[in-house]
């Protein structure tokens, strides 16, 4: 297994956390940003964000349990999201980070919301991209869709090559995103992917989102109408929120339009005094 060391900070990946092993990487110094990856992907999806922010922020990347180089997802389906949040809380404490900006894309955005409910004292701001707060599976049409999905559970065990052709057509304009998702499909952990899909199909966070006090940035790609609707619904529930649509973008926006995504995040951090307007990060932990 590949182990990366932050030569500046001297930090190794952490093993045996909360009953599993957890793979992470740390770059830079400054305001802590913890990036939470999307469904079926890994920390590697945030390459463009590392290059943009590592000179001014402390970047924490992690493979959630059940994904990438982290350990197995040996918990009941109805406690997966809470357990993954606990893992992140323990990781932040291990790194000596009292509060962090959470940056969650897709499934990672779901975790960022739940983490903010479970561990509000560890959160200074939230960035949610291409995500949702109430899964359509909780509606009557959604339950019908879920029934169809459940019957098709075998699709998680089909060879990754089965999906590559349609994926390439869908992402022909966004090669960076295509390559990341293609890698995720070819290296998927089928059983754990299916368990996480079941877990996220049951969420409804609409009751606690109005209670979140920290500033929130909601970003979504314009090319997914359903995604825009879900993000608008989420943003409307938040008290201190900025909502942005990135043109010519799909899920994940951080890979479809990385420069625009990075600039939106930077502006949000500056606007909320988490970084100085000259680009220098305010140091705190």
pLDDT digits (tens, 9 = 90+) for 103-131: 999 999 999 999 999 999 999 999 999 99
pLDDT above 90 (res 213): yes
CATH number, residue 235: 3.40.50.1820
**Arithmetic mean of pLDDT, 148-164:** 50
Q: Is residue 121 part of a domain?
A: yes
Q: Is residue 164 part of a domain?
A: no
> In whole angstroms, how far apart are CA 6 and each of 11, 50, 61?
6, 13, 12
Q: Is residue 223 part of a domain?
A: yes
Q: Which domain holds residue 256?
A: 14-135+204-271
Phi-psi region of 282 (alpha: psi -120 to 50; beta: other; left: phi over 0): beta
Tell me the H-state helices in 12-155. Answer: 47-53, 80-94, 107-118, 140-151
pLDDT above 90 (res 160): no
Phi-psi region of 279 (alpha: psi -120 to 50; beta: other; left: phi over 0): left
Q: Is residue 281 part of a domain?
A: no
Q: Is residue 178 part of a domain?
A: no
Q: How many domains does one find in the chain? A: 1
Q: Is residue 165 part of a domain?
A: no
pLDDT at 148: 38
Contact (CB, 8 A) for 204 and 138: yes
Q: Count other C-beta atoms under 10 Å from residue 64's C-beta.
A: 28
Q: Is residue 158 part of a domain?
A: no
Q: How far apart are CA 156 and CA 273, in angstroms?
A: 43
Q: What Rg value do the Cα atoms of the chain yield, rounded?
A: 18
Q: How far apart are CA 225 and CA 146, in angstroms?
A: 20
pLDDT band for 277, please (50, 70, 90 cuts): low
Of 8-12, 63-67, 86-90, 203-207, least confident by mean pLDDT is 8-12
pLDDT above 80 (res 102): yes
Predicted confidence (pLDDT) per residue in 179-193, tens digit: 999 999 889 898 999
Give the phi and the psi of residue 269 in degrees, each rounded to 5.
Answer: -65, -40
Contact (CB, 8 A) for 212 and 236: no
Q: How far apart are CA 68 and CA 189, in angstroms?
A: 8
Q: Is residue 190 part of a domain?
A: no
Structure tokens at 230: 């879900």
Q: What is the dihedral of CA 276, 278, 284, 285, to 10 degrees?
A: 100
């Amino acid at each position: 297994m590949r182990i990366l060391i932050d030569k500046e900070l001297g930090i190794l990946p952490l093993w045996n956390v909360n009953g599993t092993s957890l793979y992470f990487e740390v770059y830079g110094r400054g305001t802590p940003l913890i990036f939470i990856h999307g469904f079926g992907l890994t920390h590697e999806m945030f390459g463009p964000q590392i290059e943009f922010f590592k000179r001014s922020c402390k970047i924490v990347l992690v493979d959630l349990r059940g994904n990438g180089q982290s350990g197995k997802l040996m918990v009941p389906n109805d406690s997966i999201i809470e357990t993954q949040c606990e893992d992140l809380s323990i990781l932040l404490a291990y790194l000596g980070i009292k509060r962090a900006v959470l940056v969650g894309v897709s499934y990672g955005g779901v975790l960022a919301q739940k983490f903010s409910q479970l561990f509000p004292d560890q959160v200074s701001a939230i960035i949610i991209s291409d995500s949702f707060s109430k899964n359509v599976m909780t509606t009557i049409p959604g339950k019908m869709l879920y029934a169809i999905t459940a019957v098709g559970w075998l699709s998680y065990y089909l060879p990754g090559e089965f999906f590559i052709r349609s994926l390439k057509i869908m992402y022909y304009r966004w090669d960076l995103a295509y390559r990341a998702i293609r890698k995720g499909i070819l290296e998927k952990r089928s059983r754990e992917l299916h368990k996480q899909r079941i877990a996220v199909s049951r969420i409804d966070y609409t009751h606690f989102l109005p209670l979140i006090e920290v500033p929130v940035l909601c970003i979504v790609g314009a090319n997914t109408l359903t995604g825009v609707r879900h993000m608008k619904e989420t943003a409307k529930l938040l008290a201190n929120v900025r909502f942005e649509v990135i043109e010519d973008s799909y899920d994940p926006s951080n890979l479809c339009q990385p420069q625009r995504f990075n600039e939106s995040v930077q502006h949000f951090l500056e606007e909320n005094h988490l970084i100085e307007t000259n680009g220098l990060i305010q140091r705190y932990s």
